[in-house]
Amino acid sequence: MQNKDKKSRKREGGTTMDVIIKATLVGLGATALMDVWALVLKRTIAFPPPNWALVGRWFAHLPRGKVFHDDITAAAPVSGELAIGWIAHYAIGIFYAFVLLAFTGAGWLAAPTFLPAWILGIVTVGAGWFLLQPGMGAGWAASKRPNASKIRILNLVGHTVFAIGMYATAVLLASA
């Protein structure tokens, strides 16, 4: 009977703590892969990586009631903004892993499939296009940038890489 309960929990993704730990690892793994992708872009096509200090500045201004800036570089600098940006980046990746499990169920951790991760990855591009980019002064979907189309394509590819990272991390955890 006890053996059956263990098999059933594994099929369902594990205990609550197992699910929390695995979801956190899935988010961390996906975000780390996205960061590796940013380095590849920097080295291959000289595309600059995200400036996490400016992202941190944007996040730090949110509690002050300022969501949209004309130009985030003109906003008052904030102590620790680089750390805030990196922490926010990874926290969001972890959050997205929990969102994935909210839609797929914890059983996805035991038998991950790529499609749900990819759908979530593509949907989450919207947060960048319709909140972060206009919030930092880049316009809706980077419309104020001279290379807006390139940014949009790279956003879609980057979030696909994030989805690959979620899926690959989950596969590794499921096989462990």
d(CA 164, CA 171): 10
Write out pLDDT tens, residues 139-157.
999 999 999 999 999 999 9
> CA 146 → CA 13, 78, 139, 150, 151, distances in Å?
45, 28, 11, 9, 9
Give me the chain's average pLDDT, please.
Answer: 94
pLDDT at 88: 98
Residue 17: pLDDT over 60: yes
Instruction: Work out the average pLDDT over 147-169.
Output: 97
Interacting residues of 155 by C-beta distance below 8 A, sequence separation 6+: 125, 128, 129, 142
Interacting residues of 135 by C-beta distance below 8 A, sequence separation 6+: 58, 67, 68, 69, 72
Kindly indicate the confidence band of residue 168, based on its pLDDT and cuts at 50, 70 and 90. Answer: very high
pLDDT at 10: 54
Kindly indicate the confidence band of residue 124, based on its pLDDT and cuts at 50, 70 and 90. Answer: very high
Kindly indicate the confidence band of residue 1, based on its pLDDT and cuts at 50, 70 and 90. Answer: very low
Question: Higher confidence at residue 13 or residue 156?
Answer: 156
> CA 78 → CA 1, 66, 137, distances in Å?
57, 13, 17
DSSP character string of 122-150: HHTHHHIIIIIHHHTTS-GGGTTSTTHHH
Q: What is the pTM of this model?
A: 0.91
